Amino acid sequence: MAAKIRGIWLLVCLLPVAMYAQQTVRVSGQTFVCAYADGKDTLETLPYANLALLEGKDSTLVKGRTADAQGRFDFTFTARADMPY
């Protein structure tokens, strides 16, 4: 009986740690391309660009998106504490 209570107490203590380790992350931005015309560099939006969010460890695909007509994109995903992105 004491071992069962100890196991439940351990689960209750570790549950907030597991819940805290996963958090929702939002990454947003705009895509640009550097164009060279008439002797000068200009930044132009890059519409409908394909974007991929990969895990840093093994390049596993987390999310994919296509930018809109103005080159804007927005990723929302659940991050794992033990994984670099």
Nearest to 26 by CA among 63, 61, 75: 75
Number of domains in the chain: 1
Q: Residue 4 domain-assigned? A: no
- Contact between 51 and 66 under an 8 Å Cβ cutoff? The reply is yes
Q: Residue 70 domain-assigned? A: yes
Q: What is the mean pLDDT of the chain?
A: 76
Q: Residue 44 domain-assigned? A: yes
Q: Residue 57 domain-assigned? A: yes
What pLDDT shows up at residue 57? 83
Distance CA 56, CA 84 (A): 5
Q: Which has more pLDDT, 9 or 48?
A: 48
Distance CA 57, CA 75 (A): 19
- The domain of 29 spans 22-80
Distance CA 15, CA 20 (A): 9
> Above 50 in pLDDT, residue 6?
no
Q: What is the band of 79 on the pLDDT scale with cuts at 50, 70, 90? A: confident
